[in-house]
Structure 1
Amino acid sequence: MAPGLPTAMDRPHFIGIGGAGMSGIAKILAQRGAVVAGSDSKESATAEALRALGATVHIGHAAGHLDPEATCVVVSSAIRADNPELARAAELGIPVVHRSDALARLMDGLRPIAVAGTHGKTTTTSMLAVSLSSLGLAPSYAIGGDLDAPGSNAVHGEGEIFVAEADESDRSFHKYAPEVAIILNVELDHHANYASMEEIYESFETFVDRVTEGGTLVISADHEGARELTRRVTGRDVRVVTYGDAADADVRVLSVVPHGLKSEVTVLLDGAELTFTVSVPGRHYAHNAVAALAAGVALGIPAAELAPALASYTGVKRRLQLKGEAAGVQVVDSYAHHPTEMTADLEAMRAGTSGRILVVFQPHLFSRTQELGEEMGEALSLADSSVVLDIYPAREDPIPGVTSELIIQAARTAGAEVTPVHDKAEVPSVVAGMTKPGDLVLTMGAGDVTDLGPEILARLAE
């Protein structure tokens, strides 16, 4: 049975309760019986889903939103120090708890699987959550994205397994103590918090050291950064299971055969071949499924049962999510915002469609664009044509001289056809004028570019 409610979190207040990570924790606490309240900057389907669970959700941030009876205030790294609710918590002496600490408390007494890596965390966590649920294991899970409905990013299950996305961006994954840790890849990202690859490696090493005694690390055998990390942690008190195309992988991927927007994957596991279907396209997602398979086996779940169960995963919102079709043009949404993710999704789409691919790309964060803008531009050369928007700032202030022009120039140097659009409202008309039946439009980025999918479809249908 799952554990009960941590006493100090029986009346939590969340600042930024609508965020992907925060809303998941709030949902689980509400399902465990907590009196949940919080605030967010705007209305959303997530806010409504939380209200349906009995949570109080205020719109906007104000000191008066904080109930003096709250037992703690939960924040993420995105909450600024001058937030009025945070200041009010200090006045009232209410403890402030970081999101990662709250999530760690929810895992107490369970068998956690923590999914880490620069890319693919949400997909892999979702694959595990869905497949384990389909096997009747009733896992709890907290994911950085919705599966198929607002608020479906987290569930309090009655089983003994807890699957969680482990975020390295602010080193918060150091708070978890998983029985099984997955590391999908290790690359330099989150430049506001990491100055070098050496800092990245040190951070991931700390995460590996958090694996419980007798636990398992499942890690890619293909990615250069992951292989370096494996060398660094070899000899520590953790069982290491590698997976991938590499000949020395413990779980070796023998083939990934595309079938439209699905893939048939064959692996060599414990000396025997095993073939199963992944209901999303591309090698990148196939490898995520193999990592999930290896993690489940490490927990004692028979591979012959888990492999077919992985086919029950049909996608997560914003991860190559089909938004619809109009005038013979398909519109798909992608959360990709790092060059590696962009390349993987474009290659997956290329394998799954015979028509032209048009990308609507919105860069995410000034710091990421400053460091990786050239690589983003090179990734866009894999599309037949691209529309590039202004940078979505998220939590950052502008950096002088850092604009989308860095990406546009790099893309053009790489031979890409690029159209800059500064007014997001103009994108549907621009795209409608560029497409023809048989084309595929891919809205791409971690910001509000996702809102454009329905608008593009509506314009195409006119």
Structure 2
Amino acid sequence: MRIDVPGEIPAAEQLGRVHFVGIGGAGLSGIARVMARRGVPVTGSDDNDTPFLAQLRELDVPCHLGYDAAHVGDADTVVVTTAARDDNPEVLEAQRRGLTLLPRSAGLKAAMEGQQVLAVAGTHGKTTTTSLLTVALIAAGADPSYAVGGVLTATGRNADLGAGPFFVAEADESDGAFLVYDTFGAIVLNVEADHLDVWGTEAAYAAAFDEFADGVDAAGPIVVGVDDPGGARLADRLRGRGRRVITVGVDGDATLRAVGLEVVDGVTSFDVVPGEDRAGTPALARISLQIPGRHYVMDALAAFALGVELGYDAGRLAEGLGSFVGTGRRMELKGRVGGVGGAGGVSGEVRVYDSYAHHPSEIRGDLEAARSVAGGVGGRLLVCFQPHLVSRTRILGAEMGIALGAADEVVVLDVYVAREEPDPSVTGAVVADAVPLAAEQVTFVSDRGQALAVLLDRVRPGDVVLTLGAGDVTALAPQLVAALQERAGG
């Protein structure tokens, strides 16, 4: 459901009693938590009893299961998830009563009021980078508020209210939300076409990032990743308009660069050096990340650069980044199982990871990281992927399949439809047919039960299994771990 952003968005304390339609999701639950911590009376409903609801109930936030007009109660304002149906009874009741209706983006802006917003944007890597920036600033003593699109492992929450001057927010471009905020400082990680069901063309998508960057406060820093061609073009355009841009990169010229990259036992280490002097310049910091993968180096480098620009100590920022152990659904280790047995293969335990990757570039990055883990023990990489959205699969399905070719064996589920209507001509077969592996290495299945059976049949000791996608494929990883533990006898 589309709810228009009002011309003026009051601060959270001026919204009266606030009811959230879809409060169990990662986005709205975080906004509800921050508002509740600010003392705003909050209620909400969802059709799923998610873990976020338990955390909200700890703050005495009433959370209803299912949607009913009566749940709106005496609310003055209703914040609505983009996933709400047009016939949602709570939204219809709010419209009937003339209550203030806000989309997610406006609700978050209201919750941010009174703090300087640090917004993390980009086609990929937003959740991880927002989390990295948050833990780095916490370690540096900034005590920021934050709202992340996943669970921050360090705190066990997806959002919270801090006493410091900054509000760190994941700035989502999928529905134009990142254009709503009053942003003081920003990170743009990359600009690679996505969400064309909303933006229509690649040019319009890129133009939205220009608009976002142009809206950053003139006194605030803008950090841009320039290893990505779209990011490099954005940085050039911003410089052409007289904006100061801090660029970060591994491969090319940048204000700050990551050099001396090493991956040992899943720990990714690198030095941060100024880009203008490559010979003999002392490193600003040595950063060691507890997560594997080159793409996470760029995320950490961008977070470090923004923290330094804000005046925080480089050493303490690096310590915070080094303490980061991940975000839910971003190369999240779900289990390690030894004694699995099976035909052939090397000895060793099976490791099962889960990740939110759903775009070809994200798939490539996570498979590279998973391959580095599997290669360290001589095992294979098995991937189960669930395409997300009909429109994305129609446009990028073949590229997704090509990216999956970096695995040894691939299982592809059918499309997770989410907010769109099904299209019989666009199924997971679009992806599976494009995987450049032998036919016996690629399996297309219609449901998670079949996928579990295939993985259990194929997995060997020493293998790494990675479940990928933004839909309900995430439920498969713990099921696989449980089944492997049962096979191992404990």
The TM-score bracket by the shorter chain reads over 0.9
Query: Quick check: 1:429–1:456 contact (8 Å CA) kept in 2?
Result: no
The amino acid across from 2:373 in the alignment is G
Q: Which residue of 2 aligns with 1:195?
A: 200
- Distance in 2 of aligned mates of 1:440 and 1:81: 42
- Distance in 1 of aligned mates of 2:438 and 2:81: 38
Q: Which residue of 1 aligns with 2:189?
A: 184
Q: Within 5 Å, which residues of 2 pair with 1:25-104?
A: 25-67=31-73, 69-104=74-109
Q: Which residue of 2 aligns with 1:351?
A: 372
- Distance in 2 of aligned mates of 1:150 and 1:42: 23
2:331 corresponds, among 302, 320, 337, to: 320
> Which structure 2 segments of 5+ residues have no match?
1-9, 276-280, 341-348
- Distance in 2 of aligned mates of 1:412 and 1:16: 40
- Distance in 1 of aligned mates of 2:154 and 2:95: 36
1:444 corresponds, among 468, 472, 477, to: 468
Deviations 1:296-345 (A, max 9, x none): 11211122321222111110111011111222211111110101000000
1:15 corresponds, among 21, 33, 37, to: 21
Query: Quick check: 1:215–1:239 contact (8 Å CA) kept in 2?
Result: no
Q: How far has the Cα of 1:428 moved from its partner?
A: 2.3
Q: Which residue of 2 aligns with 1:335?
A: 356
Where 1:386 maps in the other structure, the secondary structure is strand
Q: Which residue of 1 aligns with 2:428?
A: 404
Q: How far has the Cα of 1:412 moved from its partner?
A: 4.1
Q: Which residue of 2 aligns with 1:210?
A: 215
Q: Within 5 Å, which residues of 2 pair with 1:197-276?
A: 197-236=202-241, 238-269=243-274, 271-273=281-283, 274-276=285-287
Query: Quick check: 2:336–2:350 contact (8 Å CA) kept in 1?
Result: yes
Query: Quick check: 1:120–1:184 contact (8 Å CA) kept in 2?
Result: yes
Q: How far has the Cα of 1:60 moved from its partner?
A: 1.2
Query: Quick check: 2:12–2:113 contact (8 Å CA) kept in 1?
Result: no
Deviations 1:224-278 (A, max 9, x none): 1111112222233532000002442000122321012210111213753132111
1:386 corresponds, among 410, 432, 441, to: 410
Query: Quick check: 2:373–2:464 contact (8 Å CA) kept in 1?
Result: no
Q: How far has the Cα of 1:122 moved from its partner?
A: 0.2
Query: Quick check: 1:281–1:348 contact (8 Å CA) kept in 2?
Result: yes
Where 1:193 maps in the other structure, the secondary structure is helix
1:431 corresponds, among 455, 465, 477, to: 455
Query: Quick check: 2:152–2:158 contact (8 Å CA) kept in 1?
Result: yes
Q: How far has the Cα of 1:165 moved from its partner?
A: 0.1
Query: Quick check: 1:213–1:237 contact (8 Å CA) kept in 2?
Result: no
Q: How far has the Cα of 1:175 moved from its partner?
A: 0.8
- Distance in 1 of aligned mates of 2:449 and 2:365: 28
Q: How far has the Cα of 1:62 moved from its partner?
A: 1.5
1:277 corresponds, among 275, 288, 300, to: 288
Segment of structure 1 superposing worse, 260-269 or 181-190: 260-269
- Distance in 2 of aligned mates of 1:337 and 1:49: 27
* Identical aligned residues as a percent: 46
- Distance in 1 of aligned mates of 2:49 and 2:32: 16
Q: Which residue of 1 aligns with 2:345?
A: none
- Distance in 1 of aligned mates of 2:185 and 2:179: 14
Query: Quick check: 1:380–1:416 contact (8 Å CA) kept in 2?
Result: no
Query: Quick check: 2:152–2:326 contact (8 Å CA) kept in 1?
Result: yes
Where 1:143 maps in the other structure, the secondary structure is strand
The amino acid across from 1:296 in the alignment is G
- Distance in 2 of aligned mates of 1:21 and 1:73: 15
Q: Which residue of 2 aligns with 1:302?
A: 313
Where 1:136 maps in the other structure, the secondary structure is coil
Query: Quick check: 1:432–1:460 contact (8 Å CA) kept in 2?
Result: yes
The amino acid across from 1:20 in the alignment is A
Segment of structure 1 superposing worse, 285-294 or 134-143: 134-143
Task: Provide closer, same or farther for how the CA distance between residues 434 and 246 of structure 1 changes in structure 2, counting only shifts above 3 A.
Answer: closer
Paired positions, count:
458
Deviations 1:101-136 (A, max 9, x none): 121222222122100000000000001111222333
Q: Which residue of 2 aligns with 1:168?
A: 173
- What is the alpha-carbon root mean square deviation over aligned residues? 1.8
Deviations 1:347-397 (A, max 9, x none): 011112221000011111111100000011001100000111111111111
> Which structure 1 segments of 5+ residues have no match?
none
Q: How far has the Cα of 1:415 moved from its partner?
A: 7.8
- Distance in 2 of aligned mates of 1:398 and 1:136: 48
Query: Quick check: 1:336–1:345 contact (8 Å CA) kept in 2?
Result: yes
Where 1:410 maps in the other structure, the secondary structure is coil
Q: How far has the Cα of 1:413 moved from its partner?
A: 6.5
The amino acid across from 1:63 in the alignment is A
Q: Within 5 Å, which residues of 2 pair with 1:66-145?
A: 66-67=72-73, 69-145=74-150
Where 2:433 maps in the other structure, the secondary structure is helix
Q: Which residue of 2 aligns with 1:362?
A: 386
Query: Quick check: 1:216–1:238 contact (8 Å CA) kept in 2?
Result: no
Task: Provide closer, same or farther for how the CA distance between residues 261 and 10 of structure 1 changes in structure 2, counting only shifts above 3 A.
Answer: farther
